[in-house]
Structure 1
Amino acid sequence: MGISPSKRVKSSLSNSPEFDSACTSAFSHCLSLTEHGFDGVFPFQLATASDHLYQTLRHDSSHSLVLKWVPSPPSRSQVDSALKAVTRSDSNATLGPAQFKQWAVELFAGAVVANATKDLMVRVPVGVAGIAGLGAASRSGKDMVVIAIGGYALGVATSIWLGLQ
């Protein structure tokens, strides 16, 4: 299927004008909270920035990845993980506009992939149980049930992977 889901989502977010606009808005919002006294966003402001980004992406744009795969704002642990991925050394420094966008891409790509993975982990076992139950009730051959389960699992995985664009 080619490129990994995480890279696919990061690429989609990075190349999205709506996402870029939302990042600019959130960055400006954080600067206004400090009355433009600093050149960047402090790490303690990132939870607020995450919520602002989420609200902007959910309501002011039509970014399908966020609408489909991120039902609630990213958690504080996701915010911190994205910060660690972006700022490998000095975690007390402010994030400039480019680094802020890199953090936002990392944050929302992680949230999208995590929720898509959760969906996969729910849909496949439920479907497999249903197919196995129908196979047992209809007394179908074991080989036919295994083929149906494999086809179903592959179909669900492909559907979710294709939905990450």
Structure 2
Amino acid sequence: MGLSASKRVEKALQDSPEFNAACNSVYEECLEMAQHIDAGVRPYQLASASERLHQRLYSSLQHVHLFKKWLPTPPSRTQIDKAIRVIIERFKIPSDGGETLCLLEFKAFAVELFTDAIVSNASKAVLRRIPIGLAGIVGIGAATRSGRDLVGIVMGIYSLGIAAVVYGSLSG
């Protein structure tokens, strides 16, 4: 199938002019709200920045499917904190209380955050859908007295199909 689900989402976001424009705009808003006291965005600003970024991306034409289907609400605080830790570690940002994110780091944070949130929600959807379908297949197999081998094959095909559909929808 090619790239992993997270790499597909990450690439879709990184290659999107709308995503980059939204990141630039929200980054500038953060600097303006802090009255340009710092040279970048502070971690405490990232929760509200994430909400504003989600709002812009949710309504953008290119990402409307990706966001409406897999991220209808902004990422959680836990997801934001996880993305912050990843970026601080990746860019070796000193955590001495004065850390700020430059525009490049802010975009990397946004990609990390939204990729993780979208893939996480898609994975949960797969885990919800498969057991329901499998129960139906087992029920039909029992009612029609089909062989266990046939029911097992159908269950495998169904599970693979659901995973493929969800994976395919992550292209953006």
TM-score normalised according to structure 1 size: 0.95
Consecutive unaligned residues of structure 2, counting only runs of 5 or more, are none
Deviates more, 1:98-107 or 1:56-65: 56-65
Distance in 2 of aligned mates of 1:73 and 1:62 = 18
The one-letter code matched in structure 2 to 1:149 is M
Change (3 A) 1:162 1:77: same
* 2:170 alignment partner, SS class: coil
Distance in 1 of aligned mates of 2:135 and 2:32 = 53
How far apart are 1:125 and its partner, in Å?
A: 0.7
How far apart are 1:60 and its partner, in Å?
A: 3.9
Match of 1:154 among 154, 160, 168: 160
* 1:26 alignment partner, SS class: helix
Match of 2:150 among 141, 144, 155: 144
Per-residue Cα deviation, 1:131-150 (whole angstroms, up to 9, x for no partner): 11111112112111111111
Distance in 2 of aligned mates of 1:139 and 1:94 = 65
How far apart are 1:8 and its partner, in Å?
A: 1.6
The one-letter code matched in structure 2 to 1:98 is L
* RMSD of aligned residue pairs (Cα, Å): 1.2
Distance in 2 of aligned mates of 1:153 and 1:159 = 10
How far apart are 1:51 and its partner, in Å?
A: 0.4
Q: Within the alignment, does 1:22 sit opposite 2:22 as a pair?
A: yes
* 1:87 alignment partner, SS class: helix
How far apart are 1:2 and its partner, in Å?
A: 2.3
How far apart are 1:164 and its partner, in Å?
A: 1.2
Distance in 2 of aligned mates of 1:84 and 1:61 = 30
Distance in 1 of aligned mates of 2:13 and 2:61 = 13
The one-letter code matched in structure 1 to 2:169 is G
* 2:62 alignment partner, SS class: coil
Match of 1:115 among 107, 121, 128: 121
Fraction of identical pairs, as percent:
47
Per-residue Cα deviation, 1:36-71 (whole angstroms, up to 9, x for no partner): 222210000000011001111112443132222102
Q: Within the alignment, does 1:38 sit opposite 2:76 as a pair?
A: no
The one-letter code matched in structure 1 to 2:86 is A
How far apart are 1:13 and its partner, in Å?
A: 0.7
Match of 2:49 in 1: 49
Q: Within the alignment, does 1:104 sit opposite 2:110 as a pair?
A: yes
Per-residue Cα deviation, 1:103-152 (whole angstroms, up to 9, x for no partner): 00000000011001000000111110111111111211211111111110
Distance in 2 of aligned mates of 1:136 and 1:147 = 14
Match of 1:6 in 2: 6
* 1:12 alignment partner, SS class: helix
Distance in 2 of aligned mates of 1:29 and 1:134 = 57
The one-letter code matched in structure 1 to 2:57 is L
The runs of 4+ residues in structure 1 deviating greater than 3 Å are none
* 1:145 alignment partner, SS class: helix
How far apart are 1:160 and its partner, in Å?
A: 0.9
